[in-house]
Amino acid sequence: MTKNRGAKCEISFEVNGERKSVRAYPMERLLDVLREQLNLTGTKEGCGEGECGACSVLIDGALVDSCLVPVGQAAGASITTIEGIASNPRFGPLRDAFLEYGGAQCGICTPGMILAAAHLLERKPAPSLDEIREGLSGNLCRCTGYIQIMEAVAEAARRLGAR
Ligand code: FES
Ligand code: FES
């Protein structure tokens, strides 16, 4: 569990395009603040140790494990969670491809996988399979065997490129 040190303070940042302020200990995990204070429960906890990527979010465009980020470090940042991706029509083909290709089973890894895939496709609109593998290498899945996930991302890239 998180060790809380010091006093709670007001911490402000942008989440999915909206300005938010929370009262939190600066060392609280961003993951917990997103889920418990902002009710953004799409971000999942898997390992809690920076190994699985289930808690992935984008902070100022960088893919990070929110279980490793003290919320104080996010002050002033722009954060995107899976809810922000879900409401962005640009990523509709990515969501559809995950559903159609069986890229999600139990779903615990899915928000992080989609965040990682969105991050990859923003930087590399037509990734090779090796680049997809590399782009998702920080995200673990215990259910799918990864093939369907990689196929879903490749298909999403085709659909986004065809727009
Ligand atoms: S829960 Fe954060 S990396 Fe696994
Ligand atoms: S779908 Fe279950 S961990 Fe990936």
Structure confidence by residue, pLDDT tens digits, 13-36: 999 999 999 999 999 999 999 999
**Which atom of ligand 1 is least distant from the CA of 68?**
2
Cα–ligand 2 centroid distance for 141 (angstroms): 5
Ligand 2 atom with least separation from CA of 113: 4
pLDDT-derived band of residue 3, with 50, 70 and 90 as boundaries? low
Confidence of residue 121 (pLDDT cuts 50, 70, 90): very high
Distance CA 139, CA 94 (A): 16
Closest ligand 1 atom number to CA of residue 45: 1
Cα dihedral 89, 94, 100, 103, rounded to 10, equals -140
100: confidence class by pLDDT, cuts 50, 70, 90 = very high
- Going by C-alpha positions, the residue among 143, 140, 150 that lies closest to residue 48 is 140
What residues are in contact with ligand 2 under a 6 Å CB criterion? 104-110, 141-144
Q: Say if CB 36 and CB 2 are below 8 A apart.
A: no
**What pLDDT band is residue 162 in, cutting at 50, 70 and 90?**
confident
| The pLDDT of residue 151 | 97
Say if residue 38's pLDDT is above 80.
yes
Provide the Cα torsion 61, 67, 68, 74; round to 10°.
50
Q: What is the mean pLDDT of residues 87-95?
A: 95
Query: What are 123-144's pLDDT values in tens digits?
Result: 999 999 999 999 999 999 999 9
Residue 115 predicted with pLDDT over 80 = yes
pLDDT of residue 6: 78
Q: What percent of the chain has pLDDT over 90?
A: 94
- pLDDT exceeds cutoff 60 at 1: no
pLDDT mean across residues, the chain: 95
